A and B are shown apart, each in its own frame.
Chain A
Amino acid sequence: MPGGGWPTASLIEVLIGDNGLGEVQLFLPALAARQQAPSGEVPWLVWIAPPHEPYAPALAQQGIDLRRFLVVRPVSATEALWAAEQALNSGVCAAVFLWLKGTDDRWLRRLKLAAEASGALGVLFRPESHRFESSPANLRLLMTRGEHAVHLELLKVRGGRPGFVDLGPG
């Protein structure tokens, strides 16, 4: 990334062809580092509408402090977006992850503003089919499976140029 590492105070959109490309793994080391920063309080991580159960042993293995980890299961996309905005605005979260299928430009803009105002990292996971829509996200990534490696494409990036990265077979 331009500047190195993940930007905070922004909304990142990750478009994925399929679950299981390592899309969460991309962020876990940064999340663990944020929680383990020696600055007093451990910030919260909030995952909203994940596609399966987040598996506690896997997260603990990677250094996530589960005492500050929250799963939210809303029944509708609107409630999921509302919950994400609440979490971003609360000021106690290091990161808010949201899994979403639909499109709602007005809501996404609100999430981006909330992330920028609170300094938290907002990550939105959506299916690849949304790639040709415009999005208010500060950073857009497309993850697909190539011949031998997972393929990461930067569709939109602030202070840098769109490009490709191959993440190797893992």
Chain B
Amino acid sequence: MVRAKQSRTADLFAQEAPPPVPPPPVQAPPVPAPPRLRSLWYAAVFPGMHEVPEPEALSHLQRLARHAQRFTSLVSLEPPAALLLEIRGSLRLFGPPAALHARIDAGWEALGVRAQSAAAPSPLAALWLARAGERTLIEDAATLAGRLAGLPLACMAWDPKRLALLRALGVRRVGELLRLPRAGLARRLGPAALLEIDAALGRAPSPRRAFVACERLRERCDFEIEIVEVGALERALEPLIERCVSHLRARQAGVQALELRLRHRALPSTRLHLGFAGVTGDRRRLWGVFTERLSRLALVAPVRAAALLSGPLQILSGGCDEAAPLIERLRARLGESAVYGIRRIAEHRPEAAWRRVQELPGRFAAAAAADTVPADGDRVPRPVWLLREPLCLAADGTGTSPRDGWRLEQGPERIESGWWDGMGIARDYYVARHAEGARLWVFQERRSKHWYLHGVFA
């Protein structure tokens, strides 16, 4: 058994010319055969895209993907700046691979977009070749290793740390990388890197992201009888939602918002916005928001037909926060702005040291890492409640007598900041105790000597 295991490992780690595999002992589990490569991938890299800012770049890429859909139904976005097209299935329509390759290239030219392209049996190989600017067409997977060998490592778009490590080993080109012993590679770069190499060579299935056709959702249904009651409407719309869910599932895509349009006989359509806390195609989440919105709806007139519409479908990003359904439900009933998060900002002015955030749940968790870094003032007390506006502490507005009914317990903490943007402050903050018992955060404006209440230690 042990021997069998070893021979299998050796096989997995075999390099360019794998040694002939001895017939496995009877007990050994069968070695999975390499997947038969029947596909042909065309990759286009758009060098100009790197200058476009992030959100626009994605919509730009989606536009190009929509254009590419005339050549194949399988278009995959490779953000930030590339597209992959499976073109084997399109050859019957468009002629030999070289002709199709040229035709797609001509399409970019007609759009006025600069593109580098290549085609190969594996998506990664096509991408690497395109990134390296080698306009070539490889049909035979067996020749891949040789054809990729001359490419510079940069075409793999690995992270800089990995590339620096390889550079330190004296590896400059893909061929040199392929010659390194696999065990060592796995140890230094992790198994994911090996998997990627195998995928590029067509020896392992390629862990491609879901192919998302860049399209919108438009589902419509007409009712035989006009619907006058919300409960009946909810039941009547069930097939519509189901169609929408299976449509999304088939494309492994999701939406972040939907619009439900209810058509009436004489009045203009009722439009309902259904918002989600993240990109989703999940039946339960769609239903959750849908029923919540309907429960608050008062029909202005009987409904004759309904339609569900979306913006461009989006890639399902896998990891979704488990609180997303809760946040969606709350927002569907209470409104988007009634549900929010808070973040702290590294800023001296107390009122500017925080902000509300609407993008929930923590999809941008990484960006918010600053929240865990202690800011200055971590040693001085801060109140749980902050008043929206500092409250002047004397009814007549002079606010110069601080001792009525409360006493200072701690302070002063001098905060002076913001002189550069005209919103400057110069304040002495104190913790004060009100006669009724509340602990308060007060300050004295240094110029006017006025006293203000700014927070409550709850």
Q: Do A and B bind each other?
A: yes
- A: residues with CB less than 8 A from B are 17-25, 28, 41, 44, 50-61, 65-75, 79, 82-83, 86-87, 90-93, 144-146, 150, 170
Find the residue from B344, B368, B377 having the highest chain A CB count within 10 A: B344
Residues of A within 8 A of B325 (CB): 90
Which 7 pairs across A and B sit closest by C-beta, in order of nearness?
A145-B437, A20-B438, A52-B385, A56-B354, A58-B382, A55-B386, A90-B326
**Cα distance, A41 to B438, chains bound together (Å):** 36
In the bound complex, do residue B436 and residue A145 qualify as a contact, i.e. CB atoms below 8 Å apart?
A: yes
Minimal beta-carbon separation of B214 from chain A (angstroms):
31
B307 at interface, CB cutoff 8 A: no
Query: Which residue of A is nearest B440, CB measured?
Result: A20
Question: In the complex, what residues of B have CB within 8 A of residue A25's CB?
Answer: 384, 457-458
A144 touches B323 (CB 8 A): no
B-side interface residues, number (CB < 8 Å): 50
| Interchain residue pairs with CB less than 8 A apart (20) | A19-B456, A52-B456, A53-B385, A60-B372, A66-B368, A67-B362, A68-B361, A70-B327, A70-B341, A71-B340, A71-B342, A71-B356, A72-B334, A73-B334, A83-B330, A83-B333, A86-B326, A86-B329, A145-B436, A150-B437
Q: Are B368 and A19 in contact (CB under 8 A)?
A: no
Q: Mark B337-359, 1 if CB is under 8 A from A, else 0.
A: 01111111100001001111000
Q: Which of B's residues lie within 8 Å of A, judged by CB?
A: 322-323, 325-327, 329-330, 333-334, 338-345, 350, 353-356, 360-362, 365, 368, 371-372, 374-375, 377-378, 382-388, 434, 436-440, 455-458
Partner of B458 from the list A24, A82, A170 (CB cut-off 8 Å) is A24
CA gap between A87 and B457 in the complex, in Å: 26
Beta-carbon nearest neighbor of A51 in chain B: B385
Q: Is the interface of A mostly helix, strand, loop or mixed?
A: mixed
User: Is the beta-carbon distance between B386 and A72 smaller than 8 angstroms?
Assistant: no
CB neighbours of A93 from chain B (8 A):
323, 326
* Chain B residues, Cβ within 8 Å of A59: 342, 384
User: Bound complex: CA of A66 vs CA of B413, how far in Å?
Assistant: 25
A61 near B338: Cβ-Cβ < 8 Å: no
Instruction: Answer whether A23 and B322 are a contact pair too, CB < 8 Å, given A52-B385, A66-B341, A67-B371.
Output: no
Residues of B with C-beta under 8 A to A55: 354, 382-386, 455
Interface SS majority for chain B? mixed
Q: Separation in Å of the B176 CB from the closest CB of chain A?
A: 41
Report B-chain residues with C-beta under 8 Å of the C-beta of A145.
436-438
Task: Report the separation of the CA atoms of residues A68 and B327 in the bound assembly, to the nearest whole angstrom.
Answer: 12
Q: For B437, list chain A residues within 8 Å (CB).
A: 17-18, 20-21, 144-146, 150
CB A169 to nearest CB in B, in angstroms, measures 8
Q: Are B386 and A52 in contact (CB under 8 A)?
A: yes
Q: How far is A54 from B354 in the complex, measured between Cα atoms in Å?
A: 10
Residues B342 and A54 in contact, CB atoms below 8 Å apart: yes
Residues of B within 8 A of A70 (CB): 323, 327, 339-341, 360
With A55-B354, A82-B333 as contacts: A71 and B341 at CB distance below 8 Å:
yes
Q: A20-B440, A41-B322, A72-B330 are in contact. Are A53 and B378 (CB under 8 A)?
A: no
Q: B439 and A60: CB pair below 8 A?
A: no
> Nearest Cβ in chain B — how far from A22, in angstroms?
7
- The CA-CA distance from A150 to B434 in the complex, in Å, is 12
Q: In the complex the two chains form, is A61's CB within 8 Å of B322's CB? A: no
- Contact of B438 with A60 in the complex, beta carbons under 8 Å: no
B457 close to A69 (CB less than 8 A): no
**Contact (Cβ within 8 A) B456 A20:** yes
Bound-state Cα–Cα, A79 to B339, Å: 12
Q: Which residues of B contact A17 (CB under 8 A)?
A: 436-437
| List of A residues within 8 angstroms of B434 by Cβ | 18, 20
CA distance A83 to B449 in the complex (A): 44
Chain B residues positioned under 8 Å from A150 (CB to CB): 437
